[in-house]
């Protein structure tokens, strides 16, 4: 089994060292680079070509959101997934991070097993958006423009239902249970939505669900 390659970008040496120590304990995860700011992080990511980047939100110079935009805009890094490292007082940045293409969020005090599981989840192509974090993302988006539903014109009623469920942070199994579908059928609908809405990943479907009015801050 090939190791999951990870780059850590955080301006605090202790945070980087702690994350490396926790990840290095996993036999299937390898930390292949570190950086102390967004600009350096971009250089390291381009050189190391990791599967997952753990990116701090707030850093001097180029912050994590701008660095994420640059990573995900680079066609040579199309397979790289970025997870934002946040604290409880970073809500104002959450929505912009998802807009930038982040696959999800990890709190810096995430337990070790959950950290390693999260890296595996993102490397496997899934997003890290629990219902609690999703509600915070939507709440942080409350200052956005009035929702525009025209983007949903090409969706069926069932696809809209599934998108609304994704927008509240539910997993495929939870969507299936809510809509009386099998998890595999729910997964098929999500894949179809990604294609129809030209979304990079499940996290961006959350943004679309908000922007089109299917989900509202405090709703779900």
Write the CATH number for 187: 1.10.10.10
Residue range 175-202, pLDDT digits in tens: 999 999 998 899 899 989 988 888 877 8
* Exposure string over 112-127, b if 16+ CB within 10 A, otherwise e: eeebbebbbbbbeebb
Q: Answer whether 0.85 is exceeded by the pTM.
A: no
Do 118 and 191 fall within a single domain? no
Structural domain of 25:
4-128
The whole-number pLDDT of residue 138 equals 59
Which of 159, 161, 185, 160 is closest to 172 using CA atoms? 185
The whole-number pLDDT of residue 109 equals 81
More confidently predicted of 11 and 147:
11
Do 118 and 205 fall within a single domain? no
Q: Any idea which of 20-34, 40-54, 145-159 has the lowest mean pLDDT?
A: 145-159
Do 112 and 168 fall within a single domain? no
Asked if residue 33 belongs to a domain, the reply is yes
Looking at the 3D structure of the chain, how many domains does it have?
A: 2
Asked if residue 220 belongs to a domain, the reply is no
CATH number assigned to the domain comprising residue 92: 3.40.50.2300
Asked if residue 137 belongs to a domain, the reply is no
The whole-number pLDDT of residue 80 equals 92
Provide the 8-state DSSP code for 58: -
Q: Which of 128, 160, 175 corresponds to the end of one domain? A: 128
Asked if residue 87 belongs to a domain, the reply is yes
Asked if residue 139 belongs to a domain, the reply is no
Do 8 and 109 fall within a single domain? yes
Do 24 and 110 fall within a single domain? yes
The whole-number pLDDT of residue 204 equals 78
Q: Which stretches within 49-150 are classed as H helix?
A: 64-73, 91-100, 112-123, 131-140
The whole-number pLDDT of residue 103 equals 83
Do 119 and 33 fall within a single domain? yes
Asked if residue 67 belongs to a domain, the reply is yes
pLDDT band at 67 (very low <50, low <70, confident <90, very high): very high
Is the pLDDT reported for residue 220 higher than 80?
no
Mean pLDDT across 204-209 = 81
pLDDT band at 88 (very low <50, low <70, confident <90, very high): low
The whole-number pLDDT of residue 107 equals 80
Say if residues 206 and 137 touch (Cβ distance below 8 Å).
yes
Asked if residue 40 belongs to a domain, the reply is yes
pLDDT band at 13 (very low <50, low <70, confident <90, very high): very high
Question: What is the chain's mean pLDDT, rounded?
Answer: 84
Q: Which of 61, 95, 128 corresponds to the end of one domain? A: 128
The whole-number pLDDT of residue 159 equals 94
Residue range 97-137, pLDDT digits in tens: 777 788 888 888 888 998 999 899 888 877 776 556 666 66
Mean pLDDT across 152-165 = 91
Asked if residue 200 belongs to a domain, the reply is yes
Backbone angles phi, psi at 139, to 5 degrees: -65, -40
Do 75 and 16 fall within a single domain? yes
Is the pLDDT reported for residue 208 higher than 70?
yes
Do 22 and 54 fall within a single domain? yes
Do 124 and 170 fall within a single domain? no
């Amino acid at each position: 089994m090939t190791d999951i390659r990870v780059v850590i970008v955080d301006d605090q040496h202790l945070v980087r060292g702690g994350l490396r120590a926790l990840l290095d304990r996993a036999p299937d995860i390898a930390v292949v680079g570190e950086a102390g700011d967004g600009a350096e992080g971009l250089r390291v990511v381009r050189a190391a070509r990791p599967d997952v980047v753990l990116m701090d939100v707030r850093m001097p110079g180029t912050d994590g959101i701008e660095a994420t935009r640059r990573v995900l805009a680079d066609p040579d890094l199309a397979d790289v997934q970025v997870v934002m490292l946040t604290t409880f007082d970073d809500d104002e940045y959450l929505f912009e991070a998802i807009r930038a293409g982040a696959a999800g969020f990890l709190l810096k005090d995430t337990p070790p097993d959950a950290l390693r599981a999260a890296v595996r989840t993102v490397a496997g192509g899934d997003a890290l958006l629990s219902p609690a974090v999703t509600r915070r993302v939507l709440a942080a988006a409350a200052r956005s423009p009035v929702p525009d539903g025209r983007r949903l014109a090409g969706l069926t009623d069932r696809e809209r239902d599934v998108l609304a469920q994704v927008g509240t942070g539910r997993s495929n199994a939870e969507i299936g249970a809510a809509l009386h579908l099998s998890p595999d059928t729910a997964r098929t609908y999500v894949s179809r939505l990604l294609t129809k809405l030209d979304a990079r990943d499940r996290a961006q479907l959350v943004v679309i669900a908000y922007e089109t009015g299917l989900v509202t801050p405090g709703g779900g």
